[in-house]
Amino acid sequence: MDETLPNSLTVNRISELTDVDRRTLKRRLAAAGLSGGPWPVGVILKALLASPGADPELAEAHKRRAVARARLAEAMADKASGEYVGLDVVERTLGQVILLSRNRLLKIPAAVASRVACCTSETEVESLLQTVIEDVLRALSRGIDFDAAGSAVKNGEAVHEQVT
């Protein structure tokens, strides 16, 4: 369909023809010194095309899009190089580490109950508990590695079940 443009246009008609919202059009036209309307087609074209970067929202949208594309490209490069670890792997591994830590810490009371009973002061009890807790945490930090796939590995074996 061949549509002939009239000699002058209003903001509504410009919006329909360009698929640009009215607020953005008004801002661009005002920046070009145009108010009121209708305006001659040539004046409108000159105002809208003369400085496409004059719209701060449009410039910000372009900036956000460029940043998003850069982040996506970086993530794809990380994934291709093997540096990317999927969220599901991280969640599963973190759950395994928490479970292992929980089980080790829950064993402390039974392991030290008889020694605590022999302590004669609060300072001895505190010192004993501090030492045992530090030993458990040290063992946990030494005993958990992450293999190339990001899975938790304890002493060379994958951690999948409750480790006691």
Residue 55 inside a domain? The answer is no
Beta bridge partners of 146: 152
pLDDT digits (tens, 9 = 90+) for 136-155: 888 878 766 544 444 444 44
Secondary structure element (H or E) that encloses residue 16, with its range: helix 11-18
Quick check: is 139 in a domain? yes
Q: Is the Cβ–Cβ distance between 162 and 99 less than 8 Å?
A: yes
- How open is the CA angle 135-154-134, to the nearest 5 degrees? 10
Q: Which residues contact 139 (CB under 8 A, 6 or more apart)?
A: 104
Same domain, 41 and 95: no
Domain assignment of residue 31, given as a range: 8-50
Could you tell me the two tokens for 19?
């698929």
Q: For residue 61, what are its two tokens?
A: 């949208």
pLDDT in tens, 21-54: 888 878 777 777 777 777 777 777 777 766 555 5
Q: Are residues 91 and 145 part of one domain?
A: yes
Q: What is the pTM assigned to this prediction? A: 0.40
